[in-house]
Structure 1
Amino acid sequence: MADLRDDLEPGTAVDELDELADPFPGKPYDSVTGSEANPDEDLLARAHALLAAHPVADGYSGLPWALRRLPWFDLELGESAVDTDVPRMREGHVGALFWALHLPDGLAGDRAVGATLEQLDLVKTVVRGHAEGLRLAETPGQITDVRHSGRVAVLPGPAGAAALGDSLGILRSLHGLGLRALTLSGVSWASEAGLTRFGEEVLREMNRLGVLADLSGASEDTLRRALAVSKAPVLCARSAARALRPHPANLPDDLLAELGAVGGLCMVPLTAEQTGPSVRDVADHLDHVRQVAGPQCVGLSGTYDAGTAHPQDLSDASCYPHLVAELLRRGWPEAEIALLTWGNVQRVLREADFTAREAQRRRAPSTMKIAELDG
């Protein structure tokens, strides 16, 4: 952290300062143009510079499902029918993006498994068809390589828990196809009553594979039990602060504190429903999560193309600089903004991969059935 702060906030020697007369006493002054400076433009320029070095790792995009309804699209040229395309991601400095594989309510069993496989196939087809702008990635190293190539890294997931069909074998197959995260809610083994014994076995197998556990929308009992059982950091991929807005997917302060204590990650969604109608409201939630859980435990989820309304000035994937400018206005250190946008997601992925390698040395693939544990 100290090295990162040094890189982002270099000191300025006294003899490097120019002594310029200020023709606008008490007002910002642009020494190049000789005119009064615009503080908002200066903050936005700083935001772009910071994001160029530390782009956004976006925790949730509904793009795969949104693309299903389009007869034709070109994400590299630009696609006005959706919130996310390559030009807007470049403008917004998006470096990595989780593409959600969530399903409509009511799908279960074989239909849920089949629909998830179709979405995974669509993700791979879309990425192959837009090779100049997109690349699939699974590991932190791959994500960094994709970023350095000037492309956006696409990580498949989170998928809904129903996608497993109550089978650990299907979990392993989905992971082999690239699945990187799974939401633990909406099934018998991860419900309002919490994780069952089979649910705990699913979580242990996810740890062994390196599949991240997403707990947004999970019950408080499920979340607490997952924090106790998981050996890898967990995500709340679409959760803000319930103290500021009483949405059921938002987290109360005690759970935010517990999530921070175990190194989890709360990824605040840019939706009017969960955070409020303005960029300032989103910044308020980021302030709160940062204060309660810690700066190492807060991230961003655009939640674009998920059928939700977005705050003013945050209408699509190009708008992240407006949010970062607001955080700079509030005095966020640049090193902590770098964690928010990029560093925290990379940390969680690195720790999940390390946990998986260690678990694979000690634990064979689980063959347990739901009937054996919850029957």
Structure 2
Amino acid sequence: MADLQVELNATAEAGELDQPFVRPPEPPPLPISEPAPDPLRRARALLCAHPVADGYSGLPWTLRGLPWYDLELGDSAVDADVPRLRQGGVGAQFWSVHVPETITGDRVLGATLEQLDLVKHVVGDHSEGLRLARTASEVADARHCGRIATLIGPARAEAIGDSLATLRALHALGLCSLTLSGTSWAGPQGLTPFGEEVVRELNRLGVLAELSGASEATAHRVLTVSRAPVLFARSGARALRDAPANLPDDLLTALGAAKGLCLVPLAAEQTGSSIREVADHLDHVRRIAGPECVGLSGTYDTSAAHPEGLADASRYPHLVAELIDRDWPQADLARLTWGNVQRVLRGADFAARAARERRRQQQAGG
């Protein structure tokens, strides 16, 4: 049998040798150089890996005025429904529970609680697209599950009055950020001793101190007192546009030294009427404070007018494309969109754990 197998193989090989020689096809010529992908394609690819963590959305208050909405399918009455957030490469958003300045006194707390309740119901009703989060790990988990992380805050500091207990209660309900301005303990003259206690309690709870609109005296003192990174949720560069909430260079320098975060708003009044002007602010903050201290704040679904080309949350890739045209390194772009917010959230969590450990040791020693 083996001899027969050898004979068959030999016959086959002989037949192959009898076939006429056919030259294999020439390989296609190698291109001299591949054309670089256009900036918008590169921007979209980057946002797939490093989505936008949007520092400020006014959606809760906007939704209060609508008789009906569906964020999952898309709603033309808002700037940032789920389809547009996905198209814009948004992976997380801070939903502001600020209430208008016309609401004052004891009514601020009640209105803030209503806003918190609304956020929870909206996210629960749109659970295919949204998920509540308050820590860096929860934000990452939401992203891995294909959801857009929703963080509650900032809230107006007036909501807590002069009560740390109220602050703790708001944190227990999910509050992630508090704006330190407009109170007797965080005003034009800076922080009072009680204001400093508020900052320490924020650190212990893991709630971010937010300083957009705070006086410079308050901002500098919070940067000194806080053991956790702080946020400016809606601040551009005052050197480029003299808007009230924009930051002077000395404060940007102090923010960089403290490893805080300036979230530049897409708001025409603060950062200009074009994508290029917004990019100028991002360039400036990156240069003065450092690439690890700059982020993005859509300010969508607020009363702010938006620059041309940035009308809604789907337009983030166009802004990132402008920065790619300006030769921003990919590492800095990744920090801008996602990494810097994650770093600040991790810093707040670390400060909270450290504060609780110090308190535990003090109680054990006492």
TM-score, normalised via structure 2 length: 0.89
Aligned to 1:134: 130
Aligned to 2:171: 175
Structure 1 residue ranges, 4+ long, deviating more than 4 angstroms after superposition:
none
**Which deviations, in whole Å up to 9, do the C-alpha atoms of 1:244-265 show, x marking residues without a partner?**
0000100000100000001000
Distance in 2, matches of 1:363 and 1:315, equals 47
Q: 2:257 matched to 1:264?
A: no
Distance in 2, matches of 1:51 and 1:259, equals 26
Aligned to 1:225: 221
3-state SS in 1 of match to 2:287: helix
Distance in 1, matches of 2:294 and 2:272, equals 18
Distance in 2, matches of 1:194 and 1:165, equals 17
Aligned to 1:331: 327
Q: 2:239 matched to 1:243?
A: yes
Q: How does 1:156-305 map to 2 (within 5 A)?
A: 156-305=152-301
Which amino acid letter does the alignment assign opposite residue 247 of structure 2? L
Aligned to 1:115: 111
Distance in 2, matches of 1:318 and 1:336, equals 21
Which amino acid letter does the alignment assign opposite residue 97 of structure 2? L
Pairing partner for 1:20 from 31, 47, 50: 31
Which amino acid letter does the alignment assign opposite residue 323 of structure 1? L
Pairing partner for 1:85 from 45, 69, 81: 81
TM-score, normalised via structure 1 length: 0.87
Q: Give the superposed CA RMSD.
A: 1.3
For the 8 Å contact 1:158–1:182, the answer to whether it is kept is yes
For the 8 Å contact 1:158–1:183, the answer to whether it is kept is yes
3-state SS in 2 of match to 1:135: strand
**Which deviations, in whole Å up to 9, do the C-alpha atoms of 1:75-122 show, x marking residues without a partner?**
001010010100000000100000001111132332100000000000
Aligned to 1:61: 57
Q: How far apart are residue 139 of structure 1 and its match?
A: 1.1
Q: 2:120 matched to 1:98?
A: no
For the 8 Å contact 1:216–1:237, the answer to whether it is kept is yes
Which amino acid letter does the alignment assign opposite residue 203 of structure 1? V
Distance in 2, matches of 1:106 and 1:142, equals 34
Which amino acid letter does the alignment assign opposite residue 169 of structure 1? A
3-state SS in 1 of match to 2:295: strand
3-state SS in 2 of match to 1:155: strand
Q: 2:312 matched to 1:316?
A: yes
For the 8 Å contact 1:108–1:165, the answer to whether it is kept is no
Q: Which runs of 5+ in 1 are unaligned?
A: 1-17, 23-28, 31-38, 365-375
Which amino acid letter does the alignment assign opposite residue 210 of structure 1? G
Q: 2:352 matched to 1:356?
A: yes
Which amino acid letter does the alignment assign opposite residue 328 of structure 1? I
Distance in 2, matches of 1:257 and 1:363, equals 32
3-state SS in 2 of match to 1:109: coil
Identity of aligned residues (%): 68
Aligned to 1:26: none
Q: How far apart are residue 213 of structure 1 and its match?
A: 0.3
Distance in 2, matches of 1:363 and 1:157, equals 26
Distance in 2, matches of 1:220 and 1:75, equals 38
3-state SS in 2 of match to 1:101: coil
Distance in 2, matches of 1:285 and 1:309, equals 17
Higher Rg: 2
Distance in 2, matches of 1:21 and 1:208, equals 59
Which amino acid letter does the alignment assign opposite residue 20 of structure 1? P
Which amino acid letter does the alignment assign opposite residue 127 of structure 1? V
3-state SS in 1 of match to 2:342: helix
Aligned to 1:73: 69
Q: Which runs of 5+ in 2 are unaligned?
A: 1-28, 361-366
Aligned to 1:52: 48
